[in-house]
A and B are shown apart, each in its own frame.
Chain A
Amino acid sequence: MKSLWSESEAKNYVSRYGDKGIAPDLALRVYTTRLLGGDPALVLHGGGNTSVKTRAKDLLGDEVDVICVKGSGWDMGDIEPPGLPAVKLAPLRRLLALDKLSDEDMVNYQRINLLDSAAPNPSVETLLHAFLPHKFVDHTHSTAVLALTDQPEGDAIARDTFGARMAYVPYTIPGFALAKSVAEIYAANPKVQGLILLRHGIFTFAESPREAYELMIEMVTLAEEKLKRGKKTLVHANLRARLASVANIAPVLRGASALVNDKKDGVAKRQILCFRSNEKTLSYANGAEVARYSQQGVAPPDHTIRTKNWPLVVPAPEAD
């Protein structure tokens, strides 16, 4: 994976957003967030998040330490400054002293410490960002990192790939417990440049936006290179010689995946379909073991809200 950082583009962001009253820290945070968000091999549709720790003035003109962190409902690929709401940093960090915290209390506490009460909810991973000392923190669901860690020996493979430059965090659902666990792991390994969240994703952090971003690219590249050593090939099943057309099977599948409510006059809860096919997809779908490997679950856990955990696998349809 190549770094897309451009010094002139970075300056462009600083001056363009500067004209709108946005400080350089936040302008650059927007810039590299978009760089990361523009690559589907890093994040997709609302996945991932970034933050910058900076200072902001409140209504009385007092400067306060804040963390500008990705807000709910924004995509990294086209984020704007309002998509990175500022939360007071000191109160967030005091939460580290707690032993536990419910999701509801965490969300509420984050909201009451926003500088703008109308801002979107700060990411559910806000505390994780806040507990780390670095100015720029980047988090993605890199496809390559997931492919490495989503294996039976994923932990060992990751350690072998990234070594002591990264710390390794066992899977925990995002929220206070994960943030606290990360804070403890980081405290024990203060020299690391990032974190591998096993079966979830990757964090990199640094004092400058470029460094944090380029660390992400570097680590993902290491993962990609490791993956290239995988030599097994998918064994393909023997399919029927004459297959039905997409136009003929789509309505059958659409009908089968609608929910007919007999209590409500048989009204159908339908879905819209979006067809995709390419060499990779076909190789995967045609695999003799597709029924096994497709039923293990989604890769970044948050994808489950979009795709559910298991796809439906149907037999290859024969032409009439």
Chain B
Amino acid sequence: MNGVKKELDPLPRVILVPGIGLFGLGASAKDAAIAADIAENTVEVITDAERMSSYRPISEEDQFDVEYWSLEQAKLGKAAEKRLARQVAVVTGGGSGIGAATAKAMAREGAEVAVLDRDLEAARAVAKQIGGHALGLACDVTKEDDVRRAFDAVCEKFGGVDIVVSNAGAAWQGRIGEVDEKTLRESFELNFFAHQTVAQNGVRIMKAQGTGGCLLFNTSKQAINPGKDFGPYGLPKAATLFLVKQYALDHGKDGIRSNAVNADRIRTGLLTNEMVATRAKARGISETDYMSGNLLGREVTADDVADAFVFLALARKSTAAVVTVDGGNIEASLR
């Protein structure tokens, strides 16, 4: 074995936990599964050898020569890792619209993705489109037990969580002086408290890992620039925008970043074509003008919003930041 050896990373690839089982580890879910397959195979070899006498493979020196043999190292490939490789992203409301687009965008950047949605079939369909090891899970984010169960399932599948995209939301309308309390409270449950439940679960896991993390929230331009008769939606969203800042403030020391995307007028299950018609009428303009009625004059899509979430997941020095994705609206612009 000639030539200078470059030290390989010392991280374990197999962890044995008495009473629990074993973990395979790797740069991706695929590599981790390969390590686990091999570990299970090793368990068989060693158990059988120990039943006869004792296990004794080749010497440590010979093992070293194989581990550091250029022809073996070549088998692992040298392709550069994707930008979100080795990270686990959880996307709530991932079964459709912005959530689905974001889950796919995170996966394209190399993250392992868990798609959470109230509609299990929709979550699974998006996970299937992503392919590989992507996970589709049922989760009503307004139910604490559901959220806990879903995050537990993600930890069992991938080992933890690094990026949380708290995206699930829905719009309620009503004139604020007349709206019934039930509507307002329902909207607060989903558009504020559910974000808190999801973020808290993310922080719990990120703190256990001790390697930081990133909380991302889908707020709304309603949080900055309220629309007429849209109080039930805008009020909890405004509280969520403040939640973003509170997480940034309280958990910066844990290496956890907290950022938001402020999107407006994206055709999704939330802003249906029917609602586009209603909102356009409320403003006294045509539907086309409503959708592309921004400074750039371009309709904004779910993919544009997904790109902003990916950007914030990558922006290692940004926290308490809001990225506006609305084609430009000076009334809704920050500061």
Answer yes or no: are A and B bound together in one complex. yes
Q: Please report A residues at the B interface, Cβ cutoff 8 Å.
A: 40-41, 44-46, 72-73, 103-104, 107, 121, 124, 143-144, 146-148, 150-154, 157, 171, 173-175, 199-200, 227, 229-234, 237, 239-240, 243-255, 257-260, 265-278, 280-286, 290, 293-294, 296-299, 301-317
Interface residues of B in 59-100 (CB under 8 A from A): 60, 62-67, 69-76, 86-88
In the complex, are the beta carbons of A272 and B56 less than 8 A apart? Answer: no
- A103 in contact with B209 (CB, 8 Å): no
Chain B residues whose CB sits within 8 angstroms of the CB of A317 once the complex forms: 17, 19-20
Contact assessment for B209 and A258 in the assembled complex, using a CB-CB cutoff below 8 Å: yes
Q: What is the bound-complex CA distance between A44 and B36, given in angstroms?
A: 11
Within 8 A of A (CB), among B1-39: 9-29, 31-39
B46 contacts chain A at the CB level, 8 A cutoff: yes
The CA-CA distance from A47 to B267 in the complex, in Å, is 50
Contact A271 B32 (CB under 8 A): yes
Which B residues are CB-close (under 8 A) to A297?
57-58, 60, 63
Chain A nearest CB, measured from B28 CB (Å): 6
In the complex, A144 Cα to B69 Cα: how many Å? Answer: 26
A75, chain B: closest CB distance, angstroms: 11
- Asked whether B289 is an interface residue with its Cβ less than 8 Å from the other chain, the reply is no
Q: Is A73 a contact of B212 with CB atoms below 8 Å?
A: no
Q: Does B255 contact A (CB under 8 A)?
A: yes
CB distance from A153 to the nearest CB of B (A): 7
Give which listed residue, B10, B23, B41, B75, contacts A273 with CB less than 8 A.
B23
B117 interface residue (CB < 8 Å to A): no
For the complex, give the distance between the alpha carbons of A150 and B316 in Å. 48
Q: Does B54 contact A (CB under 8 A)?
A: yes
> Residue B232 at the A interface, CB < 8 A?
no
Residues of A within 8 A of B333 (CB): none
A246 partner residues in chain B, CB cutoff 8 A:
20-21, 155-156
A255 touches B17 (CB 8 A): no
Residues of chain B with a CB closer than 8 A to A290's CB: 16, 18
Decide if B15 touches A143 in the complex (CB within 8 Å).
Answer: no
Whether the Cβ atoms of A293 and B54 lie closer than 8 Å is: yes
In the bound complex, what is the Cα–Cα distance between A150 and B50 (angstroms)? 10
A296 vs B45: C-alpha distance when bound (angstroms): 12
Q: Interface extent on B, as a size class?
A: 35 or more
CB-contact partner of B37 in A45, A277, A316, under 8 A: A45
**How far apart sit A304 and B8, CA to CA, in the bound complex (Å)?**
12
Q: Establish whether residues A253 and B11, one from each chain, have CB atoms under 8 Å apart when the complex forms.
A: no
CA A311 – CA B75 in complex, angstroms? 21
Q: Which residues of B contact A281 (CB under 8 A)?
A: 21-22, 40, 43
Contacts of B67 in A (CB 8 A): 304-305, 308-309
B174 to chain A, nearest CB (A): 40
Asked if B205 is an interface residue, CB under 8 A from chain A, the answer is: yes
CB-defined contacts of B13 to chain A, threshold 8 Å: 306-308, 311
Asked if residues A152 and B14 are in contact (CB atoms below 8 Å), the reply is no
Given contacts A250-B23, A259-B9, A307-B38, contact A286 B18 (CB under 8 A): yes
Interface pair A234/B20, CB less than 8 Å apart: no
Contact A311 B44 (CB under 8 A): no
Contact of A296 with B43 in the complex, beta carbons under 8 Å: no
Q: Which of A103, A150, A266, A276 contacts B45 (CB 8 A)?
A: A150
CB-CB under 8 A from A121, the residues of chain B are 74
Decide: A257 near B25, CB < 8 A? Known: A247-B155, A304-B66, A312-B12.
yes
Shortest C-beta distance, B52 to chain A (Å), equals: 4
* A280 in contact with B47 (CB, 8 Å): yes
A-B contacts, 18 of them at CB < 8 A, read A107-B71, A146-B57, A153-B53, A227-B51, A234-B50, A247-B152, A247-B156, A252-B209, A257-B15, A258-B211, A269-B86, A272-B31, A277-B21, A280-B44, A281-B43, A290-B16, A305-B73, A306-B26
Query: Are A294 and B16 in contact (CB-based, < 8 A)?
Result: yes
Residues of A near B43 (CB, < 8 A) are 280-281, 284
B27 CB contact (under 8 Å) in A175, A271, A307: A271
Q: Do B19 and A147 touch across chains, with their CB atoms under 8 A apart?
A: no
Chain B residues whose C-beta falls within 8 Å of the C-beta of A157 in the assembled complex: 52
B63 near A304 with CB under 8 A, answer yes
Identify which of residues 150-209 in chain B touch chain A, using a CB-to-CB cut-off of 8 Å: 151-153, 155-162, 205-206, 208-209
Known A147-B45, A253-B159, A254-B160; judge A309-B63 contact (CB<8 A): yes
- Contact (Cβ within 8 A) B48 A147: yes
Using known A-B contacts A276-B39, A308-B67, determine if residue A151 contacts B24 with beta carbons closer than 8 Å.
no
Across-interface contacts of B162 in A (CB, < 8 A): 270
Would A173 and B37 count as touching, CB distance under 8 A? no
Given contacts A265-B317, A282-B19, A299-B41, 20 further A-B contacts (CB under 8 A): A44-B41, A124-B71, A147-B44, A150-B45, A151-B55, A152-B54, A153-B53, A199-B58, A245-B152, A248-B155, A255-B211, A271-B26, A271-B27, A274-B23, A274-B24, A276-B36, A293-B46, A296-B46, A296-B57, A303-B41
